[in-house]
Amino acid sequence: MTPADIAAAETILGVTFTIDERALMLDNLEAQIIRARVRRGVDLGDAPPASTFDPRLPGFVMPQGTGMLRLLPVDAPLPDDDDDIAFAPVTHLAHWIRQGALTSARLVEIYLARIARLNPTLNAWATVTPDIARAEAEVVDALTREGVSLGPLHGVPYGLKDLFDTKGVTTGWGAEPYADRVPDTDATIVGKLRRAGAVLLGKTTLGALAYGDLWYGGRTRNPWNPEEGSSGSSAGSASATAAGLCAFAIGTETLGSIVSPSQRCGTTGLRPTFGRVSRAGAMPLAWSLDKVGPICRTVADTGLVLSVLNGGDTADRGSIAAPFHWDASKPLAGLRLGYLPEAFGGGATDLDRTALNTAKSLGLETVELTLPDLPYESLTNVLFAEAAAAFENLTLSGRDDELTWQDAPAWPNAFRKARFLSAVDHVQLDRLRYRVMQAVDALFRDCDVVIGPMGTANMLTATNFTGHPCLHLRSGFDRLATRPPGALGSSAGPARPTDGTLHRVPHGISLWGGLFNEGPMLSVGQALEAAFDVHHIRPEI
């Protein structure tokens, strides 16, 4: 080790020391490196960090309520057409099954037929499990005939993002090194869904290691324009739900992976409060950021599915036991809707501004908000470091070269670069994160729900790091050329060169709510869904 080595490292770390200071460091740098190498020689297995993230600031009071879900009644009759049944809301499907008008077995066959016909185009399923689906449907239907219901999702078929363990079924994480991985146990939420009566159709695709929409089976496609990807990383969950290949699907979000494919595919995605849903048995990408939530076709469906997923779990160190309550029949009177004016400025679309005006027309008290000027994007280095730690063995073994990337080296390269991030800077990032938590908390002192475009005014980044919930729903349609591959599904940005063809594609708006207080956000979302009246329009695929 020489002073010249230290000087070269300073360039990478963005710091500067004097010649004398470099000389002083030589006596202990070797020992520091040795300690690091000794630690790398220990296989940490699936051990999580000892420190856990808690989104609750001092003085936080858990929202009070009945701890129950109350949805609007369903009175629609069962359609004759199989496609109409396939696209029906979960609330309707569950109602028809309970009433005996529809069997789970018939619904499973409807979806399996659609998967066989459309998945070769969409590439939204990593593994289809027809035997499991038919067996589970048979059990559910037998119980229905006996007058027994397992729960609110009794007989409803769903897709599961392929980073959740399923006993005896490949869980490949979208990445070549793990393509043959077969777990021995189920993830916690798999058991929850089964006990609530949900029927597993199979595993939906994700971008490799939860990045984008490219996986070892190719690119997952947007049903509204199959020439472009569905965005990610919950790529298959959004594509399959939008195309009517399942009743709903489960996604995860670390930094946009539920809301972004929902924006691209026109689905309704709910990212719950950090800690509300167990991640036990899920691939860890970033322990302090990963969140689990439903991707559906209606707001009510997301609330219904979340009521099943909700609950504390000692197997997940980040889990927080919290009641979930939403009364969908409760009027909006008294709710305050906040917005950041700059979010609807030059970077916004006419559809975004129309969505804000529609929200204002609901009779809510509207409040202009301001976020402090903080380096929010700097927080993404936390994500890179946690992800690099989660996949350290992949990087240091050289197996990261097995992943194929058509667009960019993505995670493997980010993992490598994260090795050069300063530990001191990371402690400071943790302190910055606390400042951001205080800033976002202040927003919800002045309002109950915030509205804005998905990726503007720092809300996507800020709220993922603070743990606040987000609901993204379709607000209208745009006509756009095929968009380039990328991790985020924003309608903004340059299109790749094409023949000039414009495609009718969905556009959405985001709502954010207070910690563990998704109810008001869902109520505003349900009212907006009715006002927009576009959620029922299907892709022509």
Give the model confidence (pLDDT) of 114-154 as tens digits. 999 999 999 999 999 999 999 999 999 999 999 999 999 99
Among residues 386, 379, 178, the alpha carbon closest in space to that of 290 is found at: 386
pLDDT at position 533 over 90: yes
Cross-strand pairs, 486: none
Tens of pLDDT, residues 151-203: 999 999 999 999 999 999 999 999 999 999 999 999 999 999 999 999 999 99
Which residue, chain included where needed, has tokens 């696209």? 87
Whole-angstrom Cα distance, residue 268 to residue 472? 6
Domains of the chain: 69-376+424-532 (3.90.1300.10)
pLDDT at position 369 over 80: yes
Which residue, chain included where needed, has tokens 């539920």? 258
Residues annotated as catalytic (active site), given as ranges: 161, 233, 257
515-522: average pLDDT = 98
Under 8 Å between Cβ of 307 and 296: no
281: phi > 0 → left, psi -120 to 50 → alpha, else beta; which? left
Cross-strand pairs, 294: 250
Q: How confident is the model at residue 491 (pLDDT cuts 50, 70, 90)?
A: very low
pLDDT at position 496 over 60: no
Under 8 Å between Cβ of 321 and 277: no
Tens of pLDDT, residues 302-335: 999 999 999 999 999 999 999 999 999 999 999 9
Q: Taking the model in full, what pTM does it have?
A: 0.96
Tens of pLDDT, residues 83-107: 999 999 999 999 999 999 999 999 9
